[in-house]
Structure 1
Amino acid sequence: MWRGGVAVAQLWRLGRQPSTADRREASGSLHSEQDMRLAYERHGADLLGFACNALADRQLAEDVVQETFVRAWRSAASFDHRRASLRTWL
């Protein structure tokens, strides 16, 4: 299972300084507009690619990704970084 703190520690060991997004995700923070913006910047493109492949319709895929982030915003309190990564939760 992914653990945010472990992931950040692994980045340090690999010689890569964790970004603000790495640290926010590791802390389980998903409560501010900035947290959601960082989540979108970090995972939006991957989600769009997944949705495009699954739906074979870019416009519909964009709608699905938008709805995913709207629901994530509304359900932010249910995100628990100890149980899953933000990417998995989305």
Structure 2
Amino acid sequence: MTEQKKVLMITKQFCPYCVRAKAVLDHALDGKYNDQIETVVREKDEARFNVLKDKYQFLTVPTFVDLSTGKTLSDSKEETITPFMKEALG
């Protein structure tokens, strides 16, 4: 059984902001949280993407969802992603 991820990262293919957000996770945060983040790509799972969009009411990607609180962040900047991840994942 796989461990439940604590954060969702909702993205689309060919999205420059999603690429930038992934770079923040990989470089600015040194991949520290990557094993705790599940990525949902719209083009690979349209049905789940739409369910998540209805549930969390986001308008843009990338969107991060803290699954324990339901808090969301729609941004790709290091200065907003870093505190969100620290709050969600410690």
Common fold by TM > 0.5: no
Structure number with higher helix proportion? 1
TM-score (norm 1): 0.31
In the superposition, the TM-score normalised over structure 2's length comes to: 0.31
* Between structures 1 and 2, the one with greater strand share: 2
